[in-house]
Amino acid sequence: MREPACRYGQVRVVAAVIAIVVVIAAYMLASGLTRPIRSLYYRETADLRRLAYNVLDNMASAGVFEELILNDPKVLEAISAHESVNCSEGEPGWVDRFRALLSTVLPSGLVFTARVGYYHPLPNGSLVYCKLHCKPITLGEVRFVEAESVTYTYTTSGGAYGVVILRVDLVVGYEG
């Protein structure tokens, strides 16, 4: 009579193992079907970063920085004086055109803020950052819900300015 009691014990162990396997499989299936909210955020901000970099890179390839920014008389005056743009006379003319260009190339629903300046080398080898505009370049009043920042450094030479290390900081994001 001992054998039937032993078999009932083995059946219970097998049933418990099967139950554990079913619970683990159900958990894995459920966790595979649902996504945590944070993974969506990371994917979107990575797309924003890629978009901002691609916009600046395409602008550099098209010669926008030379044509738009480095041909402005106020910018040339600031670069030759090794200082920031003089804001007592208002914003340089390139700022509104740069704002319009960015608002055109970025998809609707995105807002941005940008800062543009250049590095001036000192005799001791260090660099000084000088701004080429007075206020941050924005599209309306910017309040980001999600945003990404890109710093793009662009070196150019030629014209009346010689060698210039231009730095463009662009923050692109969803308005909130």
What's the pLDDT tens digit per position in 109-138?
888 999 999 998 888 988 899 999 989 898
Question: Strands, E, within 74-161: which ranges?
Answer: 110-121, 127-131, 137-138, 144-158
Read off φ and ψ for residue 43, nearest 5 degrees.
-65, -40
Domains contained in the chain, number = 2
Same domain, 141 and 161: yes
Whether residues 170 and 85 share a domain: the answer is: yes
Would you place residue 139 in the very low, low, confident or very high pLDDT band (cuts 50, 70, 90)?
Answer: confident
Assess whether 116 and 163 both reside in one domain.
yes
Contact 113, 150 (CB under 8 A): no
14 and 61 together in one domain: no
Confidence of residue 150 (pLDDT cuts 50, 70, 90): very high
Give yes or no: residues 11 and 59 share one domain. no
Residues 6 or more apart whose CB falls under 8 angstroms from that of 105 comprise 55, 58, 59
User: Is the alpha carbon torsion for 57, 62, 65, 66 positive or negative?
Assistant: positive
Contact of 130 with 81, CB cutoff 8 Å:
no
- Radius of gyration from C-alpha coordinates of the chain: 29
Q: What is the pTM of this model?
A: 0.69
Cα first-last separation, the chain: 75
